[in-house]
Structure 1
Amino acid sequence: MKTSHVRLPTLKRLLQIFGPPIALCFLLGILRANWTVSTGRAVVQSWSFFWEKPVVNPPTTTMAVEHLSSVNDSILILFWTEYFSQPFTSTSEHRMVAQQALDNCPVKNCLLTNRRDLVNRSAAVIFHIRELADQPDKSVPSFRSPNQYYVFYLLESPPHTNMMLDEYDGFFNLTFTYRLDSDIPSDHYYRDFKPKLWNDPSNFEDAWRKKAGFAVIFVSNCCTPSFRHVYIEELARYIPLDVFGSCGNNSCNKTSEHCDEKVSTYKFYLAFENSVCKDYVTEKMFRAYNQEAVPVVYGGADYSQIFPPNSYINILDFSSPRLLADHLRKVAGNKHWYSQYFQWKFKSRYLTLPKDLQSPEIGWCKLCGILNDGELSPKAYNNLGKWWFDEARCTIPIIGDRNGNQVWTANPYVNHIYRTMT
């Protein structure tokens, strides 16, 4: 990908457009960013300030450290790097979740390891890209088998990718990310979809009686590429909104059962993603469904292709936070209207996601299947940056015009906001 540098907006220009709080947030985000121009577009290659670790819910079982006896009978998958600065040992949360998924696959002969001395016996070597960027020596295996898969692994969106990918052209030959056009789409979040079937109208009545609160959101990262904090602040002017986490006045461990149960006492749960990118949807959406609150969504996924019809409210269907607030108040004030967002729970076919979003079609089972069957021939990605950054279609909401007026648009591209600033 041909790269050329472009002039970054000045602090004075940011202040003119956004005002002090948002300008500071935006400036901090781009201080260490790499801006490139590709095919006429300004692309944010790295927003290392915007960092949000994916939520991992550990399984109830623990895995034993691999022994050579089990290694000899298994197809090895070597996790070469750490995962968010944590060693990928047999007791790490992400390792346990992944191995448990592999143990439930149709073929159960794939074994995870972090033992680098087994690299030549491993069918696939996985690199968590954030760690590859953070390692001072960026060490990679000194020898590579021609039939070995090198896996590009990321569960976060491109704005959180803290490195350029040009230097790794030709290095990776499999992609394993949240993107549905990956060689291996991850089921990391999809497997959390566990709603309950309703068999009787009394099920809705029971849920309705618990809903003393209006709307709630859990936010741990206050300054994100989606600028959700700006929308939240504006929306809170018109509706009762409880904000939990480091960005609000309420505290709750978002991975605890108590915290999940709290969601069920609200009519609406704001599932606002930290990035607006193609296919990017996280645990926020599934928490709402599992706890029987209506999700109010903000993200770049095609929700209609994933989730039950008439089960969520998309903020991009409204031209302003105030119009969204008007709609939420009307729905909350009409019990029958509100109940329509739960009709899908009476139909068992909606209690599971589309088949192509379930294991073994995606996730660790998909990888294990490839390693067993040779489903994909080894190849090389020679322009991974174009696929990862350009084709992700990440967007940033326009939150101010040249005169400082707040505006809200549904789907502006990165170059749109860049041109507004320069």
Structure 2
Amino acid sequence: MSSTTPNKILQPLLVTVVILGCFMTIFFTYFKPSNYYWLNGQSTVSPHQVKSSISTTKNESVITVLVWLWPFGARFALDVCSSKYNTEGCFITADRNLYKKSDAVVFHHRDIHGDLSNLPSQQRPSFQKWIWLNLESPTHSPLLPGLNTLFNLTLNYRQDSDIKATYGLIVPAETEEDFVPPKKDKLVCWIVSNWSPNHARIKYYNELKNHIQIQLYGRAFRRYLSNEDYAPIVSSCKFYLSFENSIHVDYITEKFYKPLSLGTVPVALGTTRQNYENFIQGDAFIHVDDFSSPKELAEYLLFMDKTQDMYLRFFKWRRHFKSYPYDSWAERMCHVCVYLKLHKEYKSINNLNKWYWG
């Protein structure tokens, strides 16, 4: 056999090996198969799995607040923290699919089922805080079994709440100048929807009406006011009956703050005068406890109606301050975000029932 025969066989084989080697080099340079990590002594994880893992990692620079239950079923805009309230780094959502990524979950008390069946069934992430939201008084908040040690934080009107949610604030005025109240053509006004003969406010009104004329509005009197009509009506009254539906510490609602903001003097019935004065100067309002009877209050209001100079003294505080009523659930959620940015520590409510219902 001629010696050239093996050479004829080996040469094509060597060329094939070289070409195959070049191809494999180029292939592994630009493409890593799914077992690439196994080839490098690591567990088998595909590039798709890595990408998925990155996309579901919690963004530490943004606080995510999940609204689990819409308060009273009323939906509201969630993307307003930055544009409306100058609060950056807040992501407010109602998407329950983001439960595991949420820094906090807010639960509105009045919308929680008695058997707690509409609370999350998934395990709570270790970093996540559950927040109990309730702006109603204990009288109008059912005590539900199973909530006593369930929450990390409270969002409530009380001053000893973790996140304070008062119905309004007295804030500095932009400029210092004497306040001129709007034109008045009514002496005393009252708007009420929920009527219960057992309420202290109803008993007081039933006596007061015998001594002074009161302009009445609201569902209870079949004179419903639209949102557009509210401000013109209230601002046209010299005095407004800011009568709360129940009497509890710090429970001072929009019934007090809104008339203040509109240039009307509130006549308060609720917590003590001293408690009111924790929030506003004492000469900005009238308290029913200042008088021995509804008849004496009526006589005082009639006297104020005839003495303009004395009436204007109720607005001296407006030279330096103004009333800011909160009227947005969204703003409350932004407050939650701000709190979480400042408070990273662990917190837990160990006895909600005793704290709120006593």
TM-score, structure 2 normalization: 0.73
Question: Which of 107, 132, 147 does residue 152 from structure 1 map onto?
Answer: 132
- Percent identity over the alignment is 29
CA distance 1:329–1:289, change in 2 (3 Å): same
Query: Following TM superposition, by how much is the alpha carbon of 1:288 offset from its aligned partner in structure 2, in angstroms?
Result: 1.2
> Does the CA-based 8 Å contact 1:74-1:109 persist in structure 2?
yes
Q: Which of 333, 336, 355 in structure 2 is aligned with 1:367?
A: 336
Partner of 2:186: 213
The 2-side partners of 1:235 and 1:376 are apart by 51
Q: Which residue of 1 aligns with 2:237?
A: 266
| Aligned partner of residue 199 in structure 1, secondary structure | coil
Deviations for 1:6-28, whole angstroms, at most 9, x for unmatched residues?
xxxxxxxxxxxxxxxxxxxxxxx
The equivalent residue for 2:303 is 330
Q: How far did residue 136 of structure 1 move?
A: 7.1
| 1:143 to 2:123 alignment | yes
Letter in 2 for 1:387: W
- Cα pair 2:169 2:279 within 8 Å, conserved: no
The answer to whether the aligner puts 1:229 opposite 2:202 as a matched pair is yes
What residue number does 1:342 align with?
315
Give the structure with higher Rg (CA).
2
> Does residue 248 of structure 1 match 2:213?
no
Shift of 1:377: 2.1
For 1:236 and 1:249, how far apart are their aligned partners in 2?
18
Kindly indicate whether the alpha-carbon contact (under 8 Å) linking 1:176 and 1:185 is maintained by their aligned counterparts in 2.
yes
| Residue 85 (structure 1) aligned with residue 77 (structure 2) | no
| Stretch moving more, 191-200 or 261-270 | 191-200
Matched positions, count: 295
The amino acid that maps onto 1:162 is P
Closer/same/farther in 2, CA of residues 193 and 295 from structure 1, 3 Å limit: farther
- Which structure 2 segments of 5+ residues have no match? 1-54
Q: 1:199 aligns with which of 170, 177, 184?
A: 177
Counterpart secondary structure, 2:187: strand
| CA distance 1:289–1:239, shift in 2 (3 Å) | same
Counterpart Cα distance in 2 of 1:167 and 1:102 = 36
* Contact 2:168–2:323, Cα closer than 8 Å, also in 1: no
Q: Distance in 1 between matches of 2:159 and 2:124?
A: 28
Give the aligned residue type for 1:182.
S
Q: Give the counterpart letter for 1:139 in structure 2.
A: L
Pairwise CA distance, 1:115: 1.4
| Aligned amino acid, residue 336 of structure 2 | L
Query: Quick one: structure 1 residues 312 and 178, their matched pair in 2 at CA, closer, same or farther if it must change by over 3 Å?
Result: same
Of 109, 112, 116, which residue of structure 2 is paired with 1:129?
109
Is residue 159–residue 225 contact of structure 1 (8 Å, CA) maintained in 2? no
Structure 1: how far apart are the matches of 2:73 and 2:154? 21
1:279 aligns with 2:258: no
> What's the CA shift for 1:99?
4.7
AA matched with 1:332: D
Contact 2:178 2:316 in 1 (8 A): no
Report SS of the residue matched to 2:125.
coil
The one of 346, 351, 354 equivalent to 1:386 is 354
State how far apart, in whole Å, the 1-side matches of 2:96 and 2:198 are.
35
Shift of 1:270: 0.9
Partner of 2:42: none
Distance 1:232 1:195, change over 3 A: farther
What TM-score results when the alignment is normalised by the length of structure 1? 0.63
In the alignment, residue 185 of structure 1 is paired with which amino acid?
K
* Deviation per residue, 1:293-345 (Å, 9 max, x gap): 11111112621121234110001222221111111111112112111112222
Deviations 1:147-175 (A, max 9, x none): 210101111111111233x4223210100
Q: CA separation of 1:82/1:342 partners in 2, compared to 1, >3 Å: closer, same or farther?
A: closer
